[in-house]
Structure 1
Amino acid sequence: MTTVLTKDLADELARHTTHQSYGNLDGATVDAALDVLFDTLACALGGLFSPGVPQARAALTAWGDGKATIWGTGETAPAPFAAVANAGALHALDYDDTDDEVPLHAASVVLPALLADLEENRPDCRGHEFLTSLIVGLDGAMRVGRAGGPKGSRGWNYSVVSGGMGAALAIARLRDWSADQTVSLLGHQLAQTSGSLQSIIDGTLAKRFQPAVVAKDVLFGAALAGAGIDGPRNVFGGRAGFVNLYQDGTFHEDILLAGIERAGYLTELSLKPYPACRFTHAPIDVMLQIRSAGITPEKVEHITFETSGQAFNMTGRAYEPATANLVDAQFCIAYTTSVALHRGAVLIGDFAEQALRDPAVGGFAAERISVRATEAVDFLSMAPVTAHVQLRDGSAQTFVGTTVSGSPQSRLTAEQLKAKAADCFQHGGATVTVDEVWDAVRRLSRDAPVSELLELLARPSKGPVSP
């Protein structure tokens, strides 16, 4: 039920954040946090040399060295700028986590801000405290996102809008702040929150840096709040607060508070099997069904995908083989499903420049795949997705996908997560191994020092892989 907010919720969020402890968390929640941590770091090491990311790192050097690690480089920077570099790398491949209910990428803001702040302010932090802070932040981002509901029609990027709130909660918990200090940080984040979807619509590299800039903003806000400079207190219910500004005056207060004492939403976070917009995943799953049925590109006259309205808005664009760029391809059902049919998988290398120009894949995407929205599917849903396949022999077949790979209903196994990480590490030239990072992440649940993991992240990459 949607309720009109009559009181501010920042104090309630802050109270639960400051009182959360590792011993209060369910085992399933901790396991989910370990998976998303491993997966997110793999994405970051994989995106280290993706277009725009090295250039951003070079631009940030003007602010000098610092205490925070720029992952995979052996370099350091002040925490806010290390967070920008790391968040840009991890979001570049569009391979990072998604809360399918909103949708949003929770870790893209929370983790880079949290680890950078840890290195500057709590370098001796151990696993349980770190994991508690990470869980509070990811859960908080999901709560704010789900309680508000997406406002994509107004152009808001919800990874940014709610992700910043989650990062603020994570840092407040890491610093062991009072509820009043936590509310102040949430207020500072409200004061600087923004996030337009235009970078996706225009297919620009700015998209991969939007969570990064918000991570930086949270750290600046934490510096102000830590110095006693107060932020707005009516964070959610104020006249220009979060609800009125971003949610048209309505908010699902019950969703925000349900089970908040255990921070359990994290078990519902999805991890991606394909390096593209989450709205392409169900169509890719269906196309792999089509391929498994023995249907090859040569047999196909035309394939029409029926999707939700939001899936069409985000990823229903036509593919232009001669001019499409990386972001165009990541947000295109036609291209990603053509890759799946032709190659039997969708991997990082499928978004390299030469892959985007493959005439067989690109031509098929442009000429033989179309996408249309259907009112039979809820506007915001990832699934179901239906593919109507018209074959050249005059026959037709229909395929339906009701779940999405990587979702809570179809989780990636440990083996699948490691295989994904191996693709990331190879693409980014990582010198750490999959098992080294996997084991270091798992040791955090046994309260190992976070510095052990950071030592691996500081190991320099071999450099970009030749195409």
Structure 2
Amino acid sequence: MSAAEHTPGERTLAQQLGDFAAGVRYENLPAEVIESVKSRVLDILGIAAAAAPLDTSRAARRWAIDQGGTPAASAVGVAELLPAGQAAFVNGVLAHSLDYDDTHLPSVLHPSASVIPAVLAAAQAAGKDGRETIAAIAVGLEICVRLGMAGYDTEAKNSTFFEHGQHATSICGAMGAAAGVAALHRNAQWVTDALGVAASMASGIIESNRTGGTVKRIHCGWAAHSAVTAVDLVRYGLTGPPTVLEGRFGFFQAWLHGQFNPAEITDGLGERWQVQDIFFKPYPANHFTHAAVDAAAALRRAGIGPDDVESLTLGVPAPNLRTIGEPLAVKQKPETGYMAQFSGPYAVAAGLLGGGGLEVGLDDYTDELARDELRRSIMARVEVVADEECTAIFPMQFPAVLTARLRDGRTVTEKVLTTRGGPQRPLGFEDLGRKFEDNARRTLAPAARERLRETCRTLPDCQNLAVLFQDLTTADADGLTVAGTTN
């Protein structure tokens, strides 16, 4: 569909989203959506705790604290309360800084890192309880994903946002988060206006993925901040255009030159939920590498070790090859932990050796291990190629086929055609509890980790959201606030 003026009397897309958002109640949510939201809150807070010591996290906290204003909500690693928008900014930055936050396929959006920080901050400031907060997060995630899918090109099998150099995660995240925050007030017009206002704040370009810079880490923080700010402005009387999405000069015209699929936004809205289908990330690396970890781990569990292997061929979807397999000489010798996160050969080495968390964790992606002699000897034996079967499945999954030629003459093949953490191979609350433990232990004491995990498990019964942050706020020796107490 191309952007066009709306027929008079017909409900615009933003108005339909407003009606939906204002009508959602915790009591009417499917059980799987409630469980999914609880798990995503735990996941995001654990990631934020792990990201707290980063230099970029310190910069985000310093900036937020310097803004001042009337205290309202908690931010991870900030000892005092901040205005809700500033708290949302800090938590959004931390949530997206480790490339460990959840992913929706095939839109390749990371919805929770914007929506959850925004809604938690606004809900705490407004005195909302756990059930109201869960419903609002569900609304925000749902709308974020649907807007992302409206910009997905089924023929090209790619996000049109991405092809334009746009970071759909932050652009759609600002919109979904604004709808979620406005949904706390159960006012359809406020949701519609919040979408109209947030559209003028939504932003994000992804050139830093190519040539460097740390700006991508603030994208979800800025989206969350924009969402809270947009709703605050609506509360003070600002309004947005009702045709903000499909209008001649609206959201989809501005970002996608007017080419989008409105059915992805409205079909089954409120009846068929997308929230529970968002993929959790079990491993702290580019999602394209996850199936490679799983395939190599399957070899390990079959009793195959590095000394048994003559060579390895990693087959991946053709579009993924340029990200995790080219140039091969560079992917076989990553210089840093960050480079290792985007290396197919490193994923094979990590899976073959095993590590922490749910198979491999943050400690398995360090600068030292990227240059480890044993890992490099494994990576030198890994070739990455395009695989037809994997290409046919992509982008609904990020599959891999790993073939090992062994020194005893045997050939062993492991196929991983579904991505762990998605609907076909879900991670439950207990699985995510292990991921949370591996992340949060870096900054939180054992008792604090247990309290936070239990609060998330029983979030529907929570009356004061401040308890979510009671162990995530303290100050270090030099006066800069950090998350929790290092164990």
Would the TM-score normalized by the shorter structure come out above 0.5? yes
Provide the residue aligned with 1:359 in structure 2.
Answer: 373
Provide the residue aligned with 2:249 in structure 1.
Answer: 240
- For 1:184-263, what aligned pairs fall within 5 Å after superposition? 184-262=193-271
Provide the residue aligned with 1:135 in structure 2.
Answer: 138
Provide the residue aligned with 1:166 in structure 2.
Answer: 176
Q: Distance in 1 between matches of 2:106 and 2:331?
A: 30
Distance 1:253 1:83, change over 3 A: same
Provide the residue aligned with 2:349 in structure 1.
Answer: 338
CA deviations on 1:55-87 (whole Å, 9 max, x unpaired) are 332343322363221224423322222222211
Which residue identity is paired with 2:383? S
Work out whether residues 418 and 434 of structure 1, in 8 Å CA contact, stay in contact via their aligned partners in 2.
no
1:432 CA displacement: 4.9
Work out whether residues 332 and 346 of structure 2, in 8 Å CA contact, stay in contact via their aligned partners in 1.
no
Work out whether residues 18 and 176 of structure 1, in 8 Å CA contact, stay in contact via their aligned partners in 2.
yes
CA deviations on 1:393-431 (whole Å, 9 max, x unpaired) are 554332211111111111123332221111111123456
Which residue identity is paired with 1:166? G
Provide the residue aligned with 1:371 in structure 2.
Answer: 384
Which residue identity is paired with 1:285? D
Provide the residue aligned with 2:298 in structure 1.
Answer: 289
Segment of structure 1 superposing worse, 355-364 or 33-42: 355-364
Provide the residue aligned with 1:57 in structure 2.
Answer: 61
Which of 108, 112, 115 is the matching residue for 1:107? 112
Q: Distance in 2 between matches of 1:219 and 1:448?
A: 21
Work out whether residues 45 and 430 of structure 1, in 8 Å CA contact, stay in contact via their aligned partners in 2.
no
Which residue identity is paired with 1:125? K
Distance 1:198 1:221, change over 3 A: same
1:102 CA displacement: 1.5
- For 1:401-412, what aligned pairs fall within 5 Å after superposition? 401-412=416-427
1:351 CA displacement: 2.3
Provide the residue aligned with 1:445 in structure 2.
Answer: 460
Q: Distance in 2 between matches of 1:168 and 1:40?
A: 18
TM-score, reference length from structure 2? 0.86
SS of 1:372's equivalent in the other structure is strand
Which residue identity is paired with 1:91? H
Distance 1:359 1:204, change over 3 A: farther
Which residue identity is paired with 1:358? D
Q: State percent identity of aligned pairs.
A: 28
Which residue identity is paired with 2:30? D
Distance 1:426 1:298, change over 3 A: same
SS of 1:75's equivalent in the other structure is coil
Provide the residue aligned with 2:405 in structure 1.
Answer: 390
1:114 CA displacement: 1.4
1:167 CA displacement: 0.1
Work out whether residues 336 and 368 of structure 2, in 8 Å CA contact, stay in contact via their aligned partners in 1.
no
Segment of structure 1 superposing worse, 56-65 or 36-45: 56-65
SS of 2:96's equivalent in the other structure is helix
- For 1:112-123, what aligned pairs fall within 5 Å after superposition? 112-120=117-125, 122=126
1:248 CA displacement: 4.5
- For 1:66-85, what aligned pairs fall within 5 Å after superposition? 66-85=71-90
RMSD: 2.6
Q: Distance in 1 between matches of 2:291 and 2:332?
A: 23
In the alignment, structure 1 residue 13 sits paired with structure 2 residue 23 = no
Provide the residue aligned with 1:327 in structure 2.
Answer: 338
Q: Distance in 2 between matches of 1:292 and 1:450?
A: 42
Specify every segment of 5 or more residues in structure 1 that has no aligned partner in the other structure, as ranges. none
Specify every segment of 5 or more residues in structure 2 that has no aligned partner in the other structure, as ranges. 7-11, 153-158, 476-482
Distance 1:163 1:75, change over 3 A: same
Q: Distance in 2 between matches of 1:302 and 1:322?
A: 16
Work out whether residues 444 and 485 of structure 2, in 8 Å CA contact, stay in contact via their aligned partners in 1.
yes
Provide the residue aligned with 2:9 in structure 1.
Answer: none
Work out whether residues 300 and 389 of structure 1, in 8 Å CA contact, stay in contact via their aligned partners in 2.
yes
Distance 1:168 1:313, change over 3 A: farther
